[in-house]
Amino acid sequence: MRVRVLFFASIRERAGRGEMIVNLEDGATLGQLVEVVEREISAVQGLDDMMISINGRLADDDVLREGDEVAFLPPVSGG
Amino acid sequence: MDKVELIERDFSIDEVCSALRTDGTGAIVTFLGVVRGAGERRVIRLEFEAYKEMAVSEMRKLREEAIRRFGLEDLVIIHRLGPLDAGESIVLIAAVGGHREECFDAARFTIDRLKELVPIWKKEVYEDGKEWVEVRH
């Protein structure tokens, strides 16, 4: 299955891109996605400690589905 | 007027407040966040970035929560994006109600929660560099 990954702010700059498509086995978890992303982009580490959203909501479910949009969110600083 | 906006252009507090008042309005409390130039390092401008879809959705939820919690008539949240020079407006909260107490409380609640929850980020630009602001709550 394919999952769309988004990066913002400091992590977007470290990753050198705002998004990437990751292919995973069906039933893969967020933890497995993190492993793949950290392996592919060595400048991006420690993703487990970040806020993560799935389809625009803070992730409370570990299992990913085809077409999910997963965003890695650095600590926010709006206002 | 949309009650929740994430926009690049500037806004007019007068226009927002005129559009909000009704026969039952007794108070409108506005909070205006501004790009501060002075500090340990002089800030020339801020560059804002957002996860737009999620930010708008979180701002809508926050608006509804504040209206319910404080019994407001209405609430507007406008946040700007892009590069903003020192002195420019960043964010406007306008809390509308029958009485001042709930409006003061709601305006403070809303800006505090926005700063904690809504996926918007700013980078400070100095004369000799740039740095993302990351606030750990």
**pLDDT over 80 at B64, yes or no:** yes
Residue B127 pLDDT: 95
B129 touches chain A (CB under 8 A): no
How buried is B120 (Cβ within 10 angstroms: 0-12 exposed, 13-18 middle, 19+ buried)?
Answer: buried
* 8 Å CB contact of B121 and A8: yes
Q: Tell me the angle at which helices B100-117 and B52-70 cross, rounded to the nearest 10 degrees.
A: 150
Q: From B36, which residue of chain A is nearest by alpha-carbon distance?
A: A79
Q: Where are the beta strands (DSSP E) in chain A?
A: 2-7, 19-23, 51-54, 57-58, 69-73
B134 chain-A contacts, CB cut-off 8 A: 9-10, 74-75, 77
CA quadruple B21, B22, B27, B31: dihedral positive or negative? negative
For A70, what's the count of Cα atoms within 13 Å in the CB-facing half-sphere? Answer: 32
Q: How far is B23 from chain A (nearest CA, A)?
A: 31
Average pLDDT, chain A: 95
For residue A8, the model assigns a pLDDT of 97
Question: What tokens were used for B5?
Answer: 């906006």
ipTM of the complex: 0.93
Average pLDDT value for residue range A14-33: 96
Using CA coordinates, name the residue in chain A closest to B49: A9
**B135 — pLDDT class (breaks 50, 70, 90):** confident
Q: What is the pLDDT of residues B108-133, one digit of tens each?
A: 999 999 999 999 999 999 999 999 99
Do A10 and B114 count as a contact with CB atoms less than 8 A apart? no
* pLDDT-based confidence at residue A61 (cuts at 50, 70, 90): confident
Paired tokens of A23: 């292919």
First to last CA, chain A: 37
Contacts of B33 in chain A (CB under 8 A): 79
Name which of B57, B118, B123 is nearest A78 (Cβ-Cβ): B118
Alpha-carbon gap, residue A48 to A60, rounded angstroms: 13
Residue A25: C-alpha distances to residues A17, A45, A63 (Å):
24, 22, 11
Residues making up chain B, counted from first to last: 137
Query: B51 and A6 in contact by Cβ < 8 A?
Result: yes
Strands B27-34 and B74-80: unpaired
CB contact under 8 A, B54 and A8: no
3-state secondary structure of B45: strand
Q: Indicate whether this model's pTM tops 0.90.
A: yes
B122 to chain A: which residues are within 8 Å by CB?
A: 77-78
